[in-house]
A and B are shown apart, each in its own frame.
Chain A
């Protein structure tokens, strides 16, 4: 069964329909809602993987003196990138890795991975970088691109400089200086 503080299957499917917009038809959503399975753990093949990816975003880009990936809205970015922007091949590469993470932790319930401590998640991510570097690099790239192109990442982690006004090829910086974002 789903854990109490996890969204219900219906909530997840409604959310999916809303975020995917025209990508999923009303009848398809209804059919999915009416479907009853003996195994209620599997809410939707991709939904679980997306939520695991989201759960690992802050392990890759944690909160420091600047906001974390999830604080910058990378969760929403990951959902769009994985469900809509990714090709089927890219999605399979990532999902294979995420399924490895899930099975590394527990064979019975994928959702349990979502609740792990940061240090345990970091262990699993490190293990993934050994067992499936392609999937690790793919997940990390999505989180990094989502973060540094977000408003929060581009203006807080980086120094947003939309209108320099002049060029100085000998400009001096120190260790506290951030990279430019434009």
Chain B
């Protein structure tokens, strides 16, 4: 074991949306930071090799190598964002496997490059409210959050201003407004549906999505040019990612060292001082191990990656992880319910056809269980994402098993009918039995134990899912949408790519892993600020909250370092 980096104040594990923020905040506050990333090094812009690639240059003559996907990317290739323009960003499931159980599948979606999933995320950015932070306590489910909206609100402000979130202020208590750039417009049919929902359902609103894609310039980043598929990478930096935004800021301080191709295997804990003394990692190219140490450790390796490291970090006094005295480590895993809703055809509006490919849709904020006594058969709620557009040639053949020839070609070459789609994202409750653990025998090519999952959905999730499909139909019908079809895909944990929990925050070390500043109860120099820290799931997309919690935790950690407490 050789210490390869001279002297750093802090080690950040992971360069995704949380790790990028940790690196930025810690370096800007004067700390020397070593950033460890298991994926390969890529450069902003230069390595976005799929960006703006025309259809005829994707795959072989436009066809994806399906056999390769099945052999090497069976999990990752299930993502809407996985294709030949993005495959180079994703994890190779064959090279870096987990204990996949086909009987009870869990989809662990992973990037394998610098910047992590911040390159591939869907960019929807919503604040939590006290409806979310107080839910566990109010309902006696799991444990109470150790923070409230007032604790995180200034950090939402701070993060939104920096990353650039376009959106419309709505004045809703369940979905607080933020520091928004000007909103992207809804199209003509979306406005029609929004008006219909507003006049037919007094408890509901439909608005444009709040997205971390710019409508106004920020330093070094240009407003969106509406080419469409952000996940291929954006050389103008128009959507927020670690590569476009936080890592350049951290580099500019001169205090950041990035080491890619370095997978962290464990933390070494000292019982006497109650600190993490060092971090063990493996160079993924040479398979050589190395050890680094620093005064401060930020684990931002993603929900599953972080907890895998913690579960593999022994307590010198016993068999279990030093971070698991509560017994909560690896448990209370959540995601969002996903891929259920309704869609249909909107007659008319043929003279309109949106120009440009808006990388954003509409949002219908949660309207269920906002007040007591609603008498529903589920608690918490769901929100919808969706939009309206015109069908393309890909959708124009559906249900037609006859046509060919000149008229058929003509029809496919023109804009098709308008469709409207609403898909729900629902809150999954924190259940102790939804867990990840280390496989007792199987290890990866670096000797690190594989992760196993046990993830199922409860009756509450089944019930809200049924309701959200019915309500989607009602709203579409009220707007005059025809040929409505509901959809309800098989429920798979991790499929929404909002996996969270497993190292939850809470005031009491007996039932929580982290305190109210994301600091480990067991080690005051260890902070966990990715999705692992979550105590409940809300129904809104979580990344904005991870960023705000990271900035808040970094601020606290540096204060503690400066005061000598750490």
Q: Taking beta carbons and an 8 Å cutoff, which residues of A are in contact with B?
A: 59-62, 64, 66, 76-77, 80-81, 84-85, 87, 122, 125-126, 129, 133, 136-137, 140-141, 144-146, 148-151, 154, 157-158, 160-175, 177-182
Contact = CB atoms under 8 A, between A and B. Distances in A.
Interface string B228-242: 110000000000000
Interface stretch (B106-114, B281-289, B346-354, B510-518): B346-354
B187 interface: yes
A163 B353 contact: no
A162 to B, nearest CB: 6
Contact of A85 (B66, B353, B406, B416): B66
Contacts of A180: 353, 357, 392, 415
B357 A172 contact: no
Interface stretch (B54-62, B168-176, B313-321, B426-434): B54-62
B226 A164 contact: yes
Contacts of A140: 397, 404
Given A60-B405, A144-B393, 10 more contacts: A62-B405, A64-B406, A66-B413, A148-B55, A157-B413, A167-B358, A170-B187, A178-B415, A179-B412, A180-B415
A170 B56 contact: no
Nearest to A130: B402
Given A85-B63, A168-B354, A64 B228 contact: no
Contacts, number: 157
Contact of A172 (B61, B227, B351, B414): B351
B42 to A, nearest CB: 23
B406 to A, nearest CB: 5
The main secondary structure of chain B at its interface with chain A is: loop
Nearest to B189: A169
Nearest to A69: B409
Q: Name the 7 nearest CB pairs between A and B, nearest first.
A: A169-B187, A149-B62, A164-B356, A167-B356, A171-B355, A168-B355, A149-B55
Contact of A148 (B52, B357, B412): B412
Contacts of B353: 171-173, 177, 180
Interface in B412-465: 412-416
A137 B54 CA distance: 26
B396 to A, nearest CB: 9
B104 interface: no
B397 A141 contact: yes
Contacts of A133: 401
A173 B351 contact: yes
B62 to A, nearest CB: 3
5 contacts: A62-B409, A80-B60, A169-B188, A171-B353, A182-B229
A167 B354 contact: yes
A83 to B, nearest CB: 12
A162 B352 contact: no
A28 to B, nearest CB: 20
B408 interface: yes
B409 A167 contact: no
Contacts of A77: 61-63
B37 interface: no
A163 B397 contact: no
Nearest to B402: A129
A154 B54 contact: yes
Interface residues of B, number: 48
B349 to A, nearest CB: 10
B416 A179 contact: yes
A178 B54 contact: no
A59 B356 contact: no
A167 B355 contact: yes
Contacts of A172: 351-353
Which interface residue of A80, A141, A173, A181 has the most chain B CB atoms within 10 A? A173
B409 A162 contact: no
B412 A144 contact: yes
A93 to B, nearest CB: 14
A142 B354 CA distance: 28
B473 interface: no
Contact of B186 (A141, A166, A169, A179): A169
Given A172-B352, A173-B352, A178 B414 contact: yes
Contacts of A136: 401
Contacts of A168: 185, 354-356
A170 B356 CA distance: 11
A151 B397 contact: no
Interface in B363-406: 390, 392-393, 397, 401-402, 404-406
Contacts of A163: 52, 225, 227
A80 B61 contact: yes
Contacts of B416: 179
A164 B401 contact: no
A179 B413 contact: yes
Contacts of B228: 182
A60 B408 contact: yes
B61 A146 contact: yes
B184 interface: yes
B103 interface: no
Q: Which of A126, A161, A170 has the most CB of B within 10 A?
A: A170
Contacts of B187: 169-170
A180 B392 CA distance: 8
B93 interface: no
Contact of A60 (B62, B355, B404, B410): B404
Contacts of A125: 404
A170 B406 contact: no
Contacts of A87: 66
A158 B413 contact: yes
B530 interface: no
B413 A144 contact: no
Given A149-B56, A164-B226, A173-B351, A179 B415 contact: yes
